[in-house]
Every structure is written in structure tokens, then in C-alpha cells.
Amino acid sequence: MNHDMPTSSGTKDVVSSHSVFGAPCWVSLTSRDVKATEEFYGAVLGWQWRPAKLGDRFRIALADGSPVAGIAGVAAMWQMAVAWTPYFAVRSADDAVARVQERMGTVAVGPISLPPGRAALLADRDGATFGIWEGDLFTDWETWRNAQPAFITLHTRDAFDAAIFYGEVLDWATQRPGCCEVHYEGGEVVLRSLGDVVARIESGALGAAPDPAIRPHWQVHFSVDDVEACARAAELHGGSVLSKGSDEAVLRDHDGAQFTVTARRGR
């Protein structure tokens, strides 16, 4: 979750989760070692860092001065998996959590109050982890949208079944102003927010696979200028390259968290 959510300034620039509900609004990484994580992602993605308000184990990643992700060095202490997790904006955290439970999903944490909002960490019925946020977002929301991950992808058993689950939990395709649009394209489910592709859902994951890269999970894609340079930097700093193409590479960081770098292009 965003470990440094600002309090509302009362200005017209503050954007609420109520106006962009259903859309990805943040990504967060749980890690074992904050310093090592800073060094790795600084080298691979060029991020800078600043402290978060929740304490020494938390950091905010900056790209060109704009916050793009949160880091929580609590994996060992809280016995959590090392992984990237997307958070979605919701109109009501309580309603979203209740809908997850009604649909056989899992509530891991929350909802908990993190002024100026509320958050929860959840899993869908196939075990893919995601979070929700209700409350104020950034005063520079459009800047974050431009600097954010290119999109996120859910690798799951059945894309259409997953789309129904998330659509009912997150109010996708409800025709309400601000809701996300859902399209079915080439066997994939494509999610658009304000015209931008922000998520994809694809079938093919194996629920009982021993490899977490094959089990259902959300994959975060970061936009970069040079995929090859990111892959080289990952290997030089203790990570690994799982696969690589001309415009995309799937990487693991020094701690085992998997993510994708994608050549920067218009969405």
C-alpha cells in the first residue's frame, strides 16, 4: 500500500478513490532488507528514495521526483512473501472486503485505517494477492498516472471467471462515472481507466504449481527506456532474468520478487 498517503490539503487537485474506483492506484513491494532493495531498484530502474511516515522499514520510490511505489521491509518480521502487490481504488473498503468474503476470497489484513483513508490486503479465490485503498490519492494524480507501472497483469486459471470476481468486488463496468471499462480481446480481459490500458487478465496459471511464477498472481510491469540495460543491471546486482524479448523482460530481484520491464510506449 502507499505507506505515505498525504492528508487532504483541501485543494481541488486532491483526487479521491471515489472518482477513479476500480483502477490500480498504487504498487507495493514487501522485502527483507530495505537497503538492499533500494540499491537493486536504484540500479535497475533508476529510482530515488525518501522515508515514509510509517517508520524505518518503509520507503517511497521516486521516479523524476514523483512517487511511484512503496517498499516495506517487513517480509521476515511479518512472515510475508517477498512480492509486488497492486492496490486498487475503491469507493468503500468495507464493501469491497465483504464482497471478497462472499465470493470465497481471503482477507489477510484489514480494513485498517491509514489516514486519510483505509486499506486492506486480500487474495482472490485462486490465491492471487491484491490490495484495496479507500480515500485520498495524490495531489499530483495525473503525474503519477504517467509515471506509474505501464500496467499490471493477472495470470490466473480462467480469465473470464477472474474478471467476474474482480468486476463484482471493484465495481468494474457498472456504467457509473469514473468506473473502469472491461473488454475481451484475443482471449484476454483488458481493463481501461480513462482510456488507458491499466490491467490485463489472462488464463493459463496452475493453481497447485510449486513455482510461484506459475501459480495465479498479479505481475507488475514497469515502463523503461532500455529493457536490455535493465536486464543487465538486474543480473549485476544479484537478480536474474527469467525471460527476455526485444521490448520486454521478466526479472527477479535480489530477494526473489518477480516483475516485468516493458519498453516505454504510448498506452
Question: pLDDT (tens digit, 9 = 90+) per residue, 113-166?
Answer: 877 789 899 999 999 999 999 987 765 556 666 666 668 999 999 999 999 999
Strand arrangement, sheet containing 248-252? 181-185, 188-193, 196-203, 151-156, 217-224, 258-263, 248-252, 240-244
Local confidence band at 195 (pLDDT 50, 70, 90 cut-offs): confident
240 by Cβ neighbours in 10 Å (0-12 / 13-18 / 19+) ranks as: middle
What's residue 226's pLDDT? 95
Could you tell me the pLDDT band of residue 14, with boundaries at 50, 70 and 90?
Answer: low
Please state the rounded mean pLDDT for residues 89-98.
95
pLDDT at site 224: 92
pLDDT band for position 78 (cuts 50, 70, 90): low
Kindly indicate the confidence band of residue 6, based on its pLDDT and cuts at 50, 70 and 90: very low
Write the pLDDT tens digit of every residue in 205-256: 665 555 656 789 999 999 999 999 999 999 999 999 999 998 999 999 999 9
State the pLDDT at residue 77.
54
Mean pLDDT of the region 168-188: 88
Does residue 20 have a pLDDT over 70?
yes
Task: Say if residue 93's pLDDT is above 90.
Answer: yes
Residue 55 binned pLDDT confidence (cut-offs 50, 70, 90):
low
**CB contact at 8 A, 159 and 187:** yes
Tell me what pLDDT residue 54 has: 66
| Percent share of the chain, pLDDT over 70 | 80
Residue of 7 and 183 predicted with greater confidence: 183
Q: Which residues of 177-202 are buried (b: 16+ CB within 10 A; e: fewer)?
A: ebbbebeeeeebbbbbbeeeebbbbb
Q: Which domains does the chain have, with CATH numbers?
A: 17-137+147-263 (3.10.180.10)
Q: Which range among 27-31, 67-71, 258-262 has the greatest average pLDDT? A: 258-262
pTM across the whole model: 0.88
E-strand ranges in 179-239 read 181-185, 188-193, 196-203, 217-224
The confidence score (pLDDT) of residue 66 equals 83
Give the model's pLDDT for residue 7: 39
Q: Output 137 or 106, whichever has higher pLDDT.
A: 106
